[in-house]
Structure 1
Amino acid sequence: MHFYQVIIGTEILNRRRNDRHFHFLTEELLKRGEKLHASFIVEDDRDLIAKTFELVKSDPEAVLFSFGGIGSTPDDLTREIAAEVFTGRPLIVHDEAKRRILAQFGDDAYPHRIHMAELPEGAGLLDNPVNNVPGFSIGGRYFFVPGFPKMAHPMVRQALETLLPDAKPLVRKTFTALTSENDLIDMMKQVPPQVELSSLPAFCGDRRIAVISLSGKEGEAVEAWYEKFLEYMRERGIEWVEGDRHDDPDLCRSDD
Structure 2
Amino acid sequence: MIFAVIIGTEILNARREDSHFKFLRDKLIERGYELNGSFIIKDDTELMQKTFNMIKEIPDSKMFCFGGIGATPDDYTRDISAKVFTKNKMKFDKEFKKLIDNKFPNEDNTKKYNLAYWPVNSNPIRNNPINGFFGFEIEQRFFFMPGFPQMAHPMVEEILDKYFPPIAKKERYSLLAYAKESEMLDIMNALPKDVEFSTLPKLDYTSEISIAGENAKKWIEFFEKELERKGINYKIIDK
Looking at structure 1, the residues matched to 148 and 218 of structure 2 have their Cα atoms a distance apart, in angstroms, of 43
Residues 50 and 161 (structure 1), Cα distance of their counterparts in 2 relative to 1, 3 Å cut: same
Residues 31 and 190 (structure 1), Cα distance of their counterparts in 2 relative to 1, 3 Å cut: farther
Looking at structure 2, the residues matched to 168 and 41 of structure 1 have their Cα atoms a distance apart, in angstroms, of 29
Is the CA contact (8 Å cut-off) linking 1:80 and 1:90 kept in structure 2?
A: no
Q: Is the counterpart of residue 210 in structure 1 residue 207 in structure 2?
A: yes
Amino acid at match of 1:161: D
For each residue in 1:24-54, what CA deviation from the matched residue of structure 2 results, as whole angstroms up to 9, or x when unmatched?
Answer: 1111122222222221111112222112111
Looking at structure 2, the residues matched to 162 and 228 of structure 1 have their Cα atoms a distance apart, in angstroms, of 40
Secondary structure in structure 1 of the residue aligned to 2:225: helix
Looking at structure 1, the residues matched to 158 and 193 of structure 2 have their Cα atoms a distance apart, in angstroms, of 30
Looking at structure 1, the residues matched to 138 and 106 of structure 2 have their Cα atoms a distance apart, in angstroms, of 29
Secondary structure in structure 2 of the residue aligned to 1:98: helix
Partner of 1:200: 200
Give the deviation of 1:194 after TM superposition: 5.8
Partner of 1:149: 149
Give the deviation of 1:211 after TM superposition: 0.9
Partner of 1:136: 136
Looking at structure 2, the residues matched to 73 and 242 of structure 1 have their Cα atoms a distance apart, in angstroms, of 53
Partner of 1:249: none
Secondary structure in structure 1 of the residue aligned to 2:206: strand
Q: Is the counterpart of residue 75 in structure 1 residue 69 in structure 2?
A: no
Looking at structure 1, the residues matched to 106 and 38 of structure 2 have their Cα atoms a distance apart, in angstroms, of 39
Amino acid at match of 1:82: S
Give the deviation of 1:197 after TM superposition: 0.9
Alignment of 1:21-170 (within 5 A): 21-108=20-107, 110-127=109-126, 128-170=128-170
Looking at structure 2, the residues matched to 107 and 121 of structure 1 have their Cα atoms a distance apart, in angstroms, of 28
Partner of 2:225: 231
Q: Which moved more, 1:139-148 or 1:181-190?
A: 181-190
Residues 190 and 158 (structure 1), Cα distance of their counterparts in 2 relative to 1, 3 Å cut: farther
Looking at structure 1, the residues matched to 216 and 105 of structure 2 have their Cα atoms a distance apart, in angstroms, of 56
Amino acid at match of 2:184: L
**Same amino acid, percent of matched pairs:** 41
Secondary structure in structure 1 of the residue aligned to 2:36: strand
Looking at structure 1, the residues matched to 119 and 156 of structure 2 have their Cα atoms a distance apart, in angstroms, of 19
Give the deviation of 1:191 after TM superposition: 3.5
Q: Which moved more, 1:113-122 or 1:158-167?
A: 158-167
Give the deviation of 1:213 after TM superposition: 0.9
Secondary structure in structure 1 of the residue aligned to 2:218: helix
Partner of 1:181: 181
Is the CA contact (8 Å cut-off) linking 2:70 and 2:115 kept in structure 1?
A: yes
Q: Is the counterpart of residue 7 in structure 1 residue 6 in structure 2?
A: yes
Secondary structure in structure 2 of the residue aligned to 1:226: helix
Residues 108 and 151 (structure 1), Cα distance of their counterparts in 2 relative to 1, 3 Å cut: farther
What count of residue pairs does the alignment treat as equivalent?
237
Looking at structure 2, the residues matched to 20 and 156 of structure 1 have their Cα atoms a distance apart, in angstroms, of 13
Gaps of 5+ in 2: none
Q: Is the counterpart of residue 240 in structure 1 residue 230 in structure 2?
A: no
RMSD: 1.9
